Each structure stands twice: as structure tokens, then as C-alpha cells.
Structure 1
Amino acid sequence: MTRKSPRPGSTPLPAGLAAPARKSLAHAGLETLEHLAAVGRRRLAGMPGICPRTLAQLQDAMDEHGLELPAG
């Protein structure tokens, strides 16, 4: 069973992200999992501070909340 955010559109990023990844996402204005779904995996992978481990953490969080991280 997946957990849904109590307020759709405002699911926070996972707490365990490394500081460089969190700063890079914040600098790009990506503050929720829904923002990430609009951007896509390819763009995220090209951002500074975003490594394969971070992408896996983000994907796991999105799966947990019933969201999809598109390839684009």
C-alpha cells in the first residue's frame, strides 16, 4: 500500500538526501516530489550534486507516495 501526501502537490523531499543534492534541488526550485515528476530523471541526473544514490533515494520516495519519475 502506498502512502499519499495529505496535501496533494506538496510531498516533501526525503530527509536523507545529501546536502549537495538538497542545495542543488533547492537552487533549481525543486522543493517537492511533484516538482521532480515535472522535471524528469534525465534533467535531475545532469544537476550538480545528484549522483546515482540520490536518484535511487528520490525514486524510492516517489514510489512510496505513488508518484512516477519520468525518464525525460
Structure 2
Amino acid sequence: MTRKPSKPGCTPLPAGLAAPARKSLAHAGVETLEHLVQLGRRRLAGMPGVCPRTLAQLQDAMDEHGLKLPAG
């Protein structure tokens, strides 16, 4: 379960992400779920360390917070 953000636009990434995925996201400057919206599913899926399980975890967290991951 994702922690509730302290302010809008600052929803943290889920805590259970694998270290390689978390490092890859950090390298790309992704710190919140809102950053993922700007990134897009295709680019996210192509990142090192981001596997189908990671995509599912991120999608579940985004659904929980009413966010949508665009295809691009």
C-alpha cells in the first residue's frame, strides 16, 4: 500500500519496488507517481530494472491514487 501524500502532486512511489527499478527511476528523476504520468508506460517499460511486476506495482499504486499512466 502506498503512503498518502502530504500534499497534492507528491505521491511517493510504492515501498515494495525492487532496488534495480528504484535506482533506474531515480536516475531518470522519477521521485513521485506524478512523475510517472509525464514519463509514460512505453518509456517506463524500456527502463533497466523495470519488469512486468514493477509495472503492475506502479499501476496499482497509480490506480489507488486516481492517476493514469499514458501509453506513450
Same fold (TM over 0.5): yes
**Identity value in percent:** 86
Q: Considering only aligned residues, what root-mean-square deviation do their CA atoms show, in Å?
A: 1.0
Count of residue pairs the alignment pairs up: 69
1:10 aligned onto 2:7? no
Deviation, structure 1 residue 6: 4.0
Instruction: Show the counterpart of 2:67.
Output: 67
Unaligned runs of 5+ in 2: none
Q: Identify the residue that residue 50 of structure 1 maps to in structure 2.
A: 50
Unaligned runs of 5+ in 1: none
SS in 2 for 1:12: coil
TM-score calculated relative to the size of structure 2: 0.91
Q: Distance in 2 between matches of 1:12 and 1:67?
A: 13
Partner residue, 1:32: 32
How far does residue 5 in structure 1 lie from its aligned partner after superposition? 3.6
SS in structure 2 at match of 1:49: coil
